[in-house]
Chain A
Amino acid sequence: MGLLNYRLVSIIARKELRGLTQEKTIILAILLQLFIAMFSSFLMVGLSAMYDPSMYGRVTGVQYGVGFVGNDTILFDLFTRNPAFIPYQMDAGSALGALKERKLAAVVWTSETLPDAEDPVAVTLYTISNDIQSTVIEVKIKDILLEYEEILRDVRKDRLDSKPIPVTPSRPVVQNSFYEFIYGLLIPMLLFMPAIISAGLVIDLITEEYQEQTLDTLRTTPASLEDIVCGKILACIAIIPLQAALWLVLLTVNGIQIASLIEILLHVVFASAALILIAATIAVYYRDRTKAQFIFSTAIIIVLLLILAFPSNPINLIVLLAVGGAPPFHWAVMAASVAGCLILIVLVRNMIRKVEFS
């Protein structure tokens, strides 16, 4: 058991990479990541758009009819002043009937409570169930009701024990830019997806040699078990920066500026390498795909949860690097990742030696 034979290791790594391109699995992997990215963006952007009608230019300018039951003049005035609504003073029967026939968008039924009464003012809002339009109307009516709440609160302000410290924005934010979603969630997720995929891959590559009994043939070559496993690990690590860089380029092309690209790539590579080494250790120990994948998927959740529980973890630092405000000690965290990798390398080699002579 001597040192690694680097020539053999690189031959094996290249063989595995060739296999990946031949079976087109790598294309499937990239497609998968693209799909997940699309999925999460649709989820976020699509839903926010749905719940934030101001994002639909065409919806503004449309006037919704609202049936108004009761004598609350303040609320009626608020509806009249809002360009999105035309309130009609109606009796309850015809208002609800018209709503049911979709001749109205909503019905508001006010109580007779006075603004300065002891009791709260109760308003009943009727909308049509199972309908997206109602969701939009509810969001628009919410603004009016908030305004009304402010007015009522002002009337009753003498009854408050204490008031919040006032902070007024100097200019409002009109458009939701999804900045926090993109930088705080999408970017770290995209950058660590290759790592998860590669870790699963290394388990498949190692256990397959055992279960297909091809390892014995391989061992008749000058390559030692250690060379073989290291070659596979190397191949899996090698595709990490390629995919991560692809994501960074795609994001930049889409107009998402990412600061400190090199530092981010380094963080991703070292953190991913650690995951791949953990996976390889488990695979060498079990030599069975089902068992190894099962143990690894449980272990990976534990590791990720644990990492996220600490401030300034590598994933947090990647977020900070991407927005361009990382503290300089991120280099120290990177050094810790590298140290972790080194410890794991020793662990894998010990595990290989243990199984080789057992």
Chain B
Amino acid sequence: MEALSQLLTIAIWEIKRLQGTMTRDLLPIAIALLILLVGVSGFTAQQGIHLQDGMYRIGVDSPLYLDIIGGDPRYVTYALPSDVTDIRALGLDLAIRTGSLLRTNGDKGSAAQKSFERDYQAYQDSVYRQQTDLFAAYPLWIDSEYIVSELDFLATQEGQQLSAPRQASATPPEPEEPEINIIPPSGIALENMEAFRIQLEQEALKGADQLGRYTDILSQQEALGELRIPSMLSPPLPFDTIIFIFVFIFPLYFTSQFFMMSIMNERTLRQGEALIASPVSPLILVLGKMLPYAGGMLLIVTAILFTVKADITAILPLIPVILFFLSFALFIGMIARSYKELSFISIFFSTIATSYLFFPSIFANVHIVSLLSPVTLVVHVIDGTGYTLTDYVYSTALFYLTSIILFGVCIKNFHEEQLFTEMGLLDALALYLGALVSTRYWYLSLILISAMTIPFVFMAQMMYLVLFFNLPMPYSLILIMMLAALTEEIVKAAGFVALITHRFPPLSWKVVVSASLLIGFGFLLGEKLLLFVTISQIADSIFGAALFLSLSLLWIPFLLHAGTVFCTGAIIKIWGIKALPFGVILATVVHSMYNLYLLRGWVF
């Protein structure tokens, strides 16, 4: 009860402090800028974005063709002399002469032609849309139906996205169970013609209006039926998800910045000393300071969801994202030495976090990998598909775990010695790790430290997976494997770093050997535990095999983990802590060689 009132007091202080920053010199200007922003966005939307204006030059022998190029500002148009043979000599990229399109050699000519073809398609469609008999201009309509296959996961898990489609046989395949209860597709009635025309016009408008396209996306309007003409069949590029990410992540990022600055301000000029000296526990301090920001973020997200009229369940996947941003804000606020370091680390972190959130979600509705990002669930809620509890656990577990562990580490270190030091980033990290080692039960601490690095390792490895899985095979596999080995070796070295910073027990050969065994054990334990909870689906694919290879038998991976971290430990023992990078590299090489040996069948 007392803890709760302390928590509230701290939270109220924090809100008052925040109100202090929003002074008279900030608010009016901020409001004016926001109004200006709305005005300018409107103006730019009207004017269009002039980025690629005049990139290509096109010559035409008749003003008739101006209809096609129309308002595309990428083209500068010239009148083509009738006797011209070499268009390059005129400095042109493209030319239309008596209905035939010429281009210069090279990338620029090809790009110009590609763009022209798209313009021509739009022009053609605009002519066809005006026809009285729409079904003469568009005689073919496609209804796309998606069948859910029970074998879905098996196929994606075998890593056969593109690489292993089934080779068709000469005779039709026999299904084991023919489908019964089939509803034959219904035809299209003539009286719907005008509705189809309107749908086509809307689609065309969406494509033409750069900014309008983006503003429309969030207010979902269901297109008339599922019927499309063939040229509209291609899967859309994932602009929708990009917009979602920006709309949700940016306000969260900015709010977490305020929290980060609040922590940083406690450290500059030792302002927070009184707070830390008070009898309030660091846990309450940190939570109290965080509460207003977490509440603010929830409010922002709710407001956004309300504006786009999305179901409120979309807020659940965003909670771990909020925690994730806040925990990193706390960590960065605690370790940065100067403002510029704060800026760079936070921008760097948020770029990587944004891409982690973004990359998988572009495969929404396409691939199981997409579920790695909680934003995919938001996309699903907004397009009406929803998500299951398994999906939720699967995509948010890593976010919850990493945030909670990071909060734990930071709260454990939230006292004078750590807060007011002027150490570099890596030294501070070593100090934090050292503080986690208990002098009496150092062996237990080692197991714990390596076990708790696992969510971070998984997160990094998932990042490699989404970044590289569309590189051609074996390269993607080898690259992912080596990066995975490197990451694992780096975090395993954390145990040794913690031990050395803690200065007890002194690093004798005996300690090096037993520490290696303990770290190997802790690492394996964490890996096993987390795999049970979350990513068994990915772990079964060939890419998963590259990442989590070491799970087949227990004693082999144990020896591997212990052995490779022993390489690191031995090098530190012989040449001192400065040689750590070489130790990690040696361990990575050994680790990768082992992985390559196991995966040789896939690679060669």
Contact = CB atoms under 8 A, between A and B. Distances in A.
Main secondary structure on A side of the interface with B: helix
Contact of B140 (A65, A123, A163, A201): A123
Given A145-B230, A165-B67, A200-B343, A120 B140 contact: yes
Contact of A152 (B96, B139, B145, B167): B139
B137 to A, nearest CB: 6
Interface residues of B, number: 139
Interface string A82-123: 000110111011101111111111000101010100111111
Contact of A64 (B136, B143, B166): B166
Interface stretch (A28-36, A241-249, A263-271, A342-350): A28-36
Contact of A94 (B102, B148, B175, B254): B175
B147 A310 contact: no
Contacts of B390: none
Interface string B266-308: 0011000000000000000000000000000000000000000
A125 interface: yes
Contact of A145 (B140, B150, B151, B367): B140
A161 B41 CA distance: 40
B144 A299 contact: no
B37 A298 contact: yes
Contact of A92 (B115, B135, B179, B339): B179
A134 B173 CA distance: 18
Nearest to B67: A165
B44 A308 contact: yes
Contacts of B348: 28, 31-32, 35
B342 interface: yes
Contact of B163 (A39, A58, A125, A152): A58
A86 B50 contact: no
Contact of B342 (A131, A204, A294, A302): A204
A125 B64 CA distance: 39
Nearest to B264: A289
A77 interface: no
Nearest to B424: A23
A291 B234 contact: no
Contacts of B64: 165
B263 to A, nearest CB: 12
A28 B234 CA distance: 39
Interface stretch (A6-14, A221-229, A312-320, A331-339): A312-320
Most A CB contacts (10 A, CB to CB) among B67, B168, B227 go to B168
Contacts, number: 414
B175 A125 contact: no
A139 interface: yes
A31 B347 CA distance: 11
B536 interface: no
A67 B502 CA distance: 68
Contacts of A136: 162, 165
Given A105-B166, A302-B33, A153 B137 contact: yes
Interface string B149-165: 11110011000111101
Contact of B173 (A65, A177, A301): A65
Contact of B165 (A46, A64, A130, A177): A64
Interface stretch (B120-128, B197-205, B408-416): B120-128
B475 interface: no
B347 A32 contact: yes
Contacts of A132: 156, 161-162, 363, 366-367
A159 B136 contact: yes
B111 A201 contact: no
B156 A131 contact: yes
A185 to B, nearest CB: 7
A205 interface: yes
A51 B8 CA distance: 53
Contact of A308 (B51, B57, B108): B51
11 contacts: A25-B340, A56-B162, A93-B178, A93-B180, A100-B179, A102-B149, A122-B141, A127-B147, A170-B103, A205-B339, A302-B37
Complex A-B, nearest 7 residue pairs according to Cβ-Cβ distance, in ascending order: A97-B175, A65-B168, A179-B111, A88-B172, A129-B146, A103-B173, A204-B339
Interface of B: 21, 25-26, 29-30, 33-34, 36-37, 40-41, 43-44, 47-55, 57, 64-65, 67-68, 73, 91, 96, 99-103, 107-108, 110-111, 113-115, 117, 120, 123-124, 127-128, 130-133, 135-152, 155-156, 160-163, 165-180, 182, 184-185, 187-190, 227, 229-231, 233-235, 237-238, 254, 257-258, 261, 265, 268-269, 337-345, 347-348, 351-352, 355, 362-363, 365-368, 424, 467, 470, 472
